[in-house]
Structure 1
């Protein structure tokens, strides 16, 4: 059964230096507060995994937590580039960052293979791209039935997956709904998992198209109201579009970013 923990306790016990860490959430339910807790704890040498790294990964990279990024698209959604990511790749600041790029379909299938305890997945999704020339974790494979040449991608098994959800019950069963991505698959593929939630309730009531993660597949649950801001949590709060726009200016300059990080993440003033 999943353990109910505080955010700092959960991140400290589950995320170690050198781990492969996935923080998943598509457009909403992005575990921003948990990512910032990783920064506060000063974790280093992480391989960060995410289908669509956005501003919380920009913060993790700029804070020096990451040495490698496995992804399929990266950017400040609706605004532009991730400048801390670009600085790391182009200039090695605050340290060099190795990239492993896949397609969206490839990343999703890698999580599914990991969740299914399979060594790899097979798909057509890389046909017509030049990723085969740049990504070592891709290989061609012939279908044993038709002879069709397909692409194989290795299973993705993060050391720890962190997601945000709307709620959990007191036994640690987690419920999320709205626009979901690969959160379920990423949790099932991981060796350890932490789910931050808006609230803990006595019982989970039915929700249309809701995803429920049973307690026995989740390592720990932490109550973190607003844990996805500035992204949104359906039924709880909206997306803060201004925060994404403001991030562009904050992240462009190293000194501005460092000051923001100190004021808002490393040593925030209590509200």
Structure 2
């Protein structure tokens, strides 16, 4: 299993291609920032980014002009405000036009689950009474239940080319464990064609004294050790959320030139 463990730069170079659909999931917790920074360093482009709650890392990728479309259910700087690089791309086409496909949280989870199950679509009630179906007619349809006659929403399954997550631990066989708040990481792993994982550390055996999600080694294409790879989000048991940085990002992202300077200093000049 040792070939699963590679430097992050090698994993991104080998497994993320221009034009890919890439899901980098993490719900407040364990957001794979370092993996996103490596994508920026390598200049992967024309990406379709998928995430239930895109925040700062997607703002950074969009601001660098690497993204053509975002599939999401909420986008913003949590607890602070807008994502200004995302807004400029949508509203002004700066630095490049950005297509958006918006869903609800429940629908995103349903679409990932359908993809994980090998199904073409998922079914839910969540769009009843909303305009999201009108805004996304190619991705949200209405179907009639053959048992009850009830009208339900069908959402096209999500099956990313690459799914990327951050976790606390991997063992030497390549099994991965997450604990604390989890979002849809498990569903993304099962839905994605290739799975890349960054971890805080590699251990002889996974911790069995707490509950969590274990991802089996046979689902994982590659693992890179990336301590603090989720910063400024947090990794339970390793470090806290850097709330001050989220506030700072509000000012950094408002101005394109300041944003570019920050990326040059804090991302492009560093190596994974």
Structure 1 length-normalised TM: 0.98
C-alpha spacing 1:268/1:223, structure 2 compared with 1 (3 Å): closer
Query: Which residue number in structure 2 is paired with residue 198 of structure 1?
Result: 200
Query: Which residue number in structure 2 is paired with residue 96 of structure 1?
Result: 97
C-alpha spacing 1:190/1:179, structure 2 compared with 1 (3 Å): same
Secondary structure of the corresponding residue to residue 14 of structure 2: helix
1:89-128 → structure 2 map (5 Å cutoff): 89-128=90-129
Is 1:208 the counterpart of 2:179? The answer is no
Q: How many positions carry a matched residue from both structures?
A: 270
Long gaps (5+) in structure 2: none
Q: Residue 177 of structure 1 contacts residue 207 of structure 1 at CA under 8 Å; is this kept in 2?
A: no
Query: Which residue number in structure 2 is paired with residue 189 of structure 1?
Result: 191
- Deviation of 1:27 after TM superposition, in Å, equals 0.5
- Deviation of 1:268 after TM superposition, in Å, equals 3.6
Secondary structure of the corresponding residue to residue 129 of structure 2: coil
Provide, for residues 111-160 of structure 1, a one-character-per-residue CA deviation record: whole Å limited to 9, x for no partner. Answer: 00010111111000111111011012000000000000000011100000
Long gaps (5+) in structure 1: none
In structure 1, C-alpha distance between the alignment counterparts of 2:206 and 2:134, rounded to whole Å:
47
Provide, for residues 202-260 of structure 1, a one-character-per-residue CA deviation record: whole Å limited to 9, x for no partner. Answer: 11121433100000011111100000000000000000000000000000001100111
In structure 1, C-alpha distance between the alignment counterparts of 2:130 and 2:25, rounded to whole Å:
25
- Aligned-pair RMSD on alpha carbons? 1.2
In structure 1, C-alpha distance between the alignment counterparts of 2:66 and 2:189, rounded to whole Å:
21
In structure 1, C-alpha distance between the alignment counterparts of 2:115 and 2:271, rounded to whole Å:
41
In structure 2, C-alpha distance between the alignment counterparts of 1:87 and 1:154, rounded to whole Å:
28
Moved over 6 A (4+): none
Provide, for residues 170-209 of structure 1, a one-character-per-residue CA deviation record: whole Å limited to 9, x for no partner. Answer: 1100000000000010011000010000000011121433
- Deviation of 1:269 after TM superposition, in Å, equals 9.1
